[in-house]
Amino acid sequence: MYLKKLEDLSRFLVTNESTSDEICRFLNFETFNYLESRAILFAQLTNDGSLTPTADFGFTTGAVASWGKFPLTFDMPITSAVRKNICVHINSPKDLFVKYPGMKDIPNLDQDWNSILAIPVHAYGVFSITSYQQPVMDDDHDGFLRTVGQLATVGMTKVKLAGLIKNRGARAMQNSRGLELTPRQELIKKLVLQGMTNQQIAIEIGFSDSLVRQETMAIYAALNVSGRKELLENSGGGG
């Protein structure tokens, strides 16, 4: 079963450009359906020694945001999993509060579940599964859970990098297109394309030579051209 689950997850990550939350949704309904998974949470270990939630599915709206980040010094399943590099299993809400009494102070923490698993993810942080079934904890299941965490976080990182590249490309394209011209600059540009000199343009529109000169320089910068010659050449004129 575990091998088939990993194949399905790998195929999903390769063939879909899914968001991190969508990856969590797939894990919840497909990868961990044998546990009757109810919610999934991923948290990344940051340089200040805290676990910051990065993706989730199945929690009440606003619940995860209300938690903020958790320092590794705060004793709870996900921090314990990272500190000890072990899969932590909690088999009931009562078990949770006995082992981790500080959890009673966390807001918006419901008790509609029978099991929590916290699994460390090397070089990323941790993820947790809140479910209605009790897992069988053995070496095979442990290895499967850790591998799922690695695959999922690689997928999330790929999506994040793709988004950064796309945004950079959009900004570069915007810069290459230049800035929007003001109505006065559009008029001056039109007169330049008609072959008029700055002095002639100043007389035509009733402004000083220096103002026209400043505006033409602004036009060249906005359109990413070196000067009057390139502007004329780009417009199809200039001989």
Does residue 141 carry a pLDDT above 70? yes
What is the rounded distance in angstroms from the CA atom of residue 10 to the CA atom of residue 5? 9
- Are 187 and 147 part of one and the same domain? no
pLDDT for position 72 = 96
CATH code of 228's domain: 1.10.10.10
**pLDDT digits 0-9 by tens, 102-137:** 999 999 999 999 999 999 999 899 999 999 999 999
- Are 227 and 143 part of one and the same domain? no
119 contacts 149 by C-beta, under 8 angstroms: yes
**pLDDT digits 0-9 by tens, 191-216:** 999 999 999 999 988 888 888 988 89
- Are 146 and 61 part of one and the same domain? yes
Using CA atoms of 199, 204, 210, 215 in order, give the dihedral in degrees to the nearest 10: -110
Mean pLDDT, rounded, for 21-45: 96
CATH code of 84's domain: 3.30.450.40
In order, the DSSP letters of 160-202 are: HHHHHHHHHHHHHHHHHH-PPPPHHHHHHHHHHHTT--HHHHH
| 0.85 exceeded by pTM | no
Does residue 229 carry a pLDDT above 90? no
114 contacts 134 by C-beta, under 8 angstroms: yes
- Are 153 and 39 part of one and the same domain? yes
Write out the two tokens for 203: 């007389």
Does residue 46 carry a pLDDT above 90? yes
pLDDT for position 170 = 47
Residue 172 in any domain: the answer is no
**pLDDT digits 0-9 by tens, 69-105:** 999 999 999 999 999 999 999 999 999 999 999 999 9
Residue 171 in any domain: the answer is no
Domain of residue 192: give its range.
183-234
- Are 21 and 137 part of one and the same domain? yes
Mean pLDDT, rounded, for 181-185: 88
Number of domains, the chain: 2
- Are 143 and 195 part of one and the same domain? no
Strands 88-90 and 70-71, by their bridges, are: unpaired
